[in-house]
A and B are shown apart, each in its own frame.
Chain A
Amino acid sequence: MWWLLACAAEVDEARLARLRDVIVADNQIWLGRDPEQVEEKFDRMAADPYDFMRGTASLYYQDLTQPDTQRQSTEFLRDPRSFGLLVIGDPHPENFGTLPPGDDVLAGPSIEVVDLDAGGYGTWLYDLRRSILGMQVFTWKMQGCGEDCREKLARIQAEAYVAELRDPGFVASDPVWGGIVLRLLQESWTEGRLNLRMEEEVVAGRLVREGIDHGEGTRGLTEEEEEQLQALNVGGRYRILDAVRRYGTGIASFPAIRYTVLADTGSTGPEDDVLLNLRELVDPPLLPRLGFQLFDSPSDRLVQLSQRLWTRPDADPWLDGMDLGSISFKQGSLSGWSHNFDHDDSAKLWEEHLIGQADLEGLAGFLGTALAGCHLRGGSMEGSAPIDILEGEIGGREQAFVEERVRDAQNDYAALANDYSLFLMALERYGPLLGAAAAEDLPR
């Protein structure tokens, strides 16, 4: 990181101020309740540019919509309906993961967008742009994947998006996606069938209490948390056998309340035992859009998005959302089938030459294709078929579209690198909470 700090002499103070204000405002809901967790979150964002990207979706979208004469223009948002498609919001690679197979186990797990926290109605082009940025930053730690490599990845991702629009037929297990995707599926297949997650988490019928270290781990529930958990089990859908409070997962939602629950549906044996993950939901970042269309509640948003964007709407039979007054939770199953792409794991495989550029290209193609599939399935705010909108915007100008995506990828990557260095500077200068604690301490 020395080179980042070496830039200290040329700090863009205006940008630093904006970055600080937006990040603090984005975490305001947790700063009062659990500042230590926010501090851990900022630590993790500082330790890794990919995690910094994950923690700054709000900043990204605010930059895109902020009036700015220096903004890059686009030729592909001429239809007002383009601003109202159902989008993922933050479709970076680690938000894609495996879910259990359906009744036909031999069909294997599917790969879906498993984190739809930022999803809603928004601008399809920005969804793709953010996805491409995610793939670019995924390669950050991979020595040898430089500018040319990243440019090629952006091109492949954009071309894959266009190709899927033209001829939809996405299959997650297609070997064309290369080693990173295949490894994820294999991992899921192996651990899912053997139910290894249950073995890791449960000992002698109880969930493991690891203790909390550096904001990470599990602990038993307080009385208040037990009451909350009971209230979340709407209609007594399952029987709670044991539960723990979990810390230290995710990045953007790092300080959110999480429970891991060991539950069953009434049988005395372990055959119906299931692990559930319950997590607090907060409002998504404001996605650039025209008009507005809301969901009934935060949990309804999550459930609807999953059902409309997943290739198999029933991919997680335990998917649910619950609203308890001012707090909402999402629920999903936690099993050996559940795995996500991981930039650190991939960087290690890259270093050990177990994956190469072809595998990165495969992943880029996978992400572009999968995202197009989501946009086609998701629908639009005012009821038009997404393909009509997308075809109208891109049709006949595919090459220009791809070139524009490559240009944006280069600019977004450079902007993120700059912001990351400013974030490190801000932590150094203003402390672990970017100076927010001082403002919070003022009398109300």
Chain B
Amino acid sequence: MSCLAPYTETVAEDCIAARAELAGRFSQQLPDLGISRSFSLPRARLELAGGYSIAQIHVATTAVRSGGEEGYIGIAGEAIVPAFQLIELRVEHRGFLAGVGLVDDPWIVAAERGWLRAVAPSFGEEAGWMNRSDLGLWVGYRRGPLVVRADLSSGEGSFLRERNEEKNLSGSLWLRPIPALAFAVYGRQGFTGLQAVSSHRVGGQVHAFLGEENGVQLGLEVLKAWGVDGEERREPLGGSLWAVGAPWGPLQVFARGDLASEELGEEKATSGSLRVGGGVAFGPARLLGGWEYRWAGEDVAVAAGAGDSTDMNVFYVQLDVDLRWEKP
């Protein structure tokens, strides 16, 4: 039991904990357009958690570039500033769970299990179909390997205020019948924007945890969306398949393929990415190198018809660390 455990696991009682996840990356993009060699912070998350009796609090921040990646109007120039990702109060008693505040998204929490978050967000978050957290509340129940949860939230995510009277209502289920296998199912009736545009989702995940110390973790995520980015007419389907393994001592390897389609079966309406990489872990730190290839059919590329000309390769090296401190 950990003080930092996600909602899918029992949190330790009467504890205090801190966690810092940091990753610094240097990348080269091809084709070599504009500023193609750059440093970035793919992960910069600090989390504090504390529990007393049946209540726990979780507060987490991430780092964001003020003014966005291309804007000039930010804070103190375009400084990197902290943004709250979580400000959540959780209560757990005899298997009954509840949470309120800026709360974790259950789909993303599940999708990140086993995946190298310092390399990239999980598929739904990276595609912009899911928000990492949202203002709202949730109730749940945990019994053995099963956790069910219902959420009611603003639907605008952590970066925007509420825009409408409608609320997102979602239900999720996490089941880990054996230690080596877990399933997640998710459904959401969602609304976003001034006019409460539909933002519904249905999805499923399968996770396999094979081996102990030097095992392999596999994940499959499939998500269907009705309404994306305020555009009600978009109804894409997408998913991600990944594997992370450390079969040879401290050496780690990973691979992931993502695919999303605005119209099933239409190649020109399909985009995707492929990632492979590996590195070496030493203690809580890890040195990784990777390659990422992104492509988009002409209907979903930055310009209709552009197709192949928008394909992109990115090569990178990064150093990341995951530091945890807990006091029972």
Contact = CB atoms under 8 A, between A and B. Distances in A.
Given A14-B232, A121-B34, A283-B72, A20 B309 contact: no
Nearest to A23: B194
Contacts of B75: 326
Interface of A is mostly: loop
B260 to A, nearest CB: 9
Contact of A71 (B70, B163, B304): B304
A69 B269 contact: yes
B159 to A, nearest CB: 12
B112 interface: no
Given A75-B305, A382-B32, A24 B194 contact: yes
Given A74-B303, A80-B309, A442 B35 contact: no
Interface in B193-243: 193-197, 229-234, 236
Contacts of A301: 72
Contact of B33 (A66, A83, A125): A83
B197 A292 contact: no
B320 interface: no
A184 B236 CA distance: 50
Contacts of B193: 17, 20-21
Q: Which 8 A-B pairs have the closest CB atoms?
A: A291-B33, A73-B305, A293-B34, A17-B195, A291-B34, A71-B304, A67-B300, A14-B232
B92 interface: no
A349 interface: no
Interface in A106-144: 121, 123, 125-126
A292 B70 contact: yes
Contact of A381 (B29, B33, B231, B305): B33
Contact of B303 (A123, A286, A435): A123
Nearest to A297: B72
A430 B162 CA distance: 17
Interface string A277-309: 000001100101111111101100100000000
Interface residues of A, number: 60
Interface of B: 29, 31-36, 67, 69-76, 161-163, 193-197, 229-234, 236, 262-263, 266, 268-269, 271, 298-300, 302-310, 312
Contacts of B34: 84, 121, 291-293, 381-382
A265 B112 CA distance: 64
A282 B193 CA distance: 23
A69 B262 contact: yes
Given A14-B231, A18-B231, A283-B72, A82 B309 contact: yes
B31 A77 contact: no
Given A66-B229, A71-B299, A328-B72, 15 more contacts: A14-B231, A18-B197, A18-B232, A21-B163, A21-B230, A69-B299, A77-B305, A77-B306, A83-B310, A126-B303, A283-B72, A290-B31, A298-B73, A381-B33, A382-B32
11 contacts: A18-B197, A20-B195, A66-B229, A77-B303, A78-B306, A78-B308, A121-B34, A290-B302, A293-B34, A294-B70, A326-B76
A67 B234 contact: yes
A128 to B, nearest CB: 13
Contacts of A286: 70
Nearest to A286: B70
Interface in A294-330: 294-295, 297-298, 301, 325-326, 328
Contact of A439 (B194, B234, B307, B309): B194
A283 B73 contact: yes
Nearest to B296: A67
Contacts of B35: 291-294
Contacts of B308: 78
Contacts of A382: 32-34
B324 to A, nearest CB: 33
Contacts of B29: 291
Contacts of B307: 78
Contact of B194 (A73, A121, A326, A435): A435
Contacts of B234: 66-68
